[in-house]
Structure 1
C-alpha cells in the first residue's frame, strides 16, 4: 500500500511540474540564464527551427584525411533544471588513412541528457557576436562543445552553414582548451587538430 501511495504522489508531482512548464524561445535562453536564478521547469524551445539546418551527416575529405560529424536534434532535453532543444552528435577522424578516433557508435546510446554525447550545444549566435568570426550581416553560427574522452580534452566547435559549389556545407572551427592535470598524469594525446574544416552535407 505504501508503494502505491508513493507512486501516486510521484505521478502527481510530475504532472504538476509539467503543467507549470513555461515555454520560451530558445533565442532567449542566454538572457534568462544570465539572471541569478532561472525558474525550474523552463522549456527553451527551438520555435523557429534555427537548429534544423545543422542536422545531418557532414564530411570533410582531403586526400586520405577525413572528418565526419553526425549531428542530430533532441527535443525537450532535460538537464535536471530546465528543458531545452539541442543539437548533439558524434564524430570520426581519419588521418593519412589511419582512423584516429571514432565515437559514432555512441549515437546508439539513448542518453537521458545530451551532455553525455561527444558534441552538444544549442547556442546560435548572430554576426555581431565574437563567436561568429567572419560572419556577414544575417549569418549565424552554432556554438557547441566537443570532447575527446581518452585524452580528457574539451573544446569548442563552431558551426556555420555555408554553400560550396551549390551544396550545403558546414564551416567548422575546432579549438581545444588545456585542462589542469595532476603532476605525473600521462594521457594519450588528442588526435583531433585545432583548425577549420569545410564539411559537405551527405545525401
Structure 2
C-alpha cells in the first residue's frame, strides 16, 4: 500500500514538473512574444481597474460596456491574460447592436469576443492628452458589423464615481466596406 502512495506522489510530482511553464509579465515588451509553454501574466493586476459594467447615457445615445479580465487564456501554444468584453448601443431607446449575451458563452478563442485586448500603456503619446497628464490606458479592439475598430480606455474618478473615458476610433483598414455602429469619439462611462 505504501508503494502505491509513493508511486502516486511521484507521478503527481513528475506531471507537475512536466507541465511547468515560464511566467512572464505581459507588460514587459523585452520578452519574445508567442513563446511556447509561456504564460504572459498581468503581473501587478494592471487590467483589474478596467473590469466592470460601464454606462454612457446622454438621453439619446446609450452605450453599455462590460469588461472582464480573462486569466490564462490559451492562445496557440502559450497563454495570456486578456481583457474581454461586450457592448450594447441604443439610439433613442432602440437597440442598434447588442453583444452582451456573448459573455455568457465561453468562446474557445478570446480573440472572438466583440471587445478584446491586452495592450497596457503609459506612453506619453495618448488620445487623452488634452484631458489629463495620467497617460495610463489600455487599448482594445471592438468588432461591430464586421468592422474592427480600436478603443483606448483610461480610468478616472468623475464626481466621486469610478468612470472610464474611451476614445472610440475609426475602423482599421478593411478589405471590404464595413459600417461601424457606435460613432467614433470620446465618451465617459460610469461604473454600474
* TM superposition score normalised by structure 2: 0.83
Is 1:201 the equivalent of 2:167?
no
Q: Deviations over 1:161-188 (max 9, x none)?
A: 011101000000111223122xxx7x6x
Secondary structure at 2:30 match in 1? helix
Distance 1:169 1:15 in 2: 42
Is 1:178 the equivalent of 2:153?
no
Instruction: Report how many aligned residue pairs link the two structures.
Output: 176
- What is the deviation of 1:133? 3.6
1:98 to 94, 97, 115: 94
Distance 2:133 2:22 in 1: 32
- Decide whether the 8 Å contact of 2:61 with 2:92 is kept in 1: yes
- What is the deviation of 1:24? 1.3
Is 1:46 the equivalent of 2:45?
no
- Decide whether the 8 Å contact of 2:127 with 2:167 is kept in 1: no
1:124 to 104, 116, 120: 120
**Superposition RMSD in Å:** 2.1
Distance 1:127 1:54 in 2: 18
Where structure 1 has 5 or more consecutive residues not aligned to the other structure, the ranges are 1-13
Residues 118, 167 of structure 1: CA spacing in aligned structure 2 closer, same or farther, 3 A cutoff?
same
- What is the deviation of 1:108? 1.0
Is 1:73 the equivalent of 2:73?
no
Is 1:160 the equivalent of 2:154?
yes
Q: Residue 24 of structure 1 aligns with which residue?
A: 24
Residues 159, 16 of structure 1: CA spacing in aligned structure 2 closer, same or farther, 3 A cutoff?
same
Secondary structure at 1:27 match in 2? coil
- What is the deviation of 1:112? 2.3
- Decide whether the 8 Å contact of 1:154 with 1:177 is kept in 2: yes
Q: Deviations over 1:48-80 (max 9, x none)?
A: 010000010000010131000011111101110
Q: Residue 191 of structure 1 aligns with which residue?
A: 181
* TM superposition score normalised by structure 1: 0.79
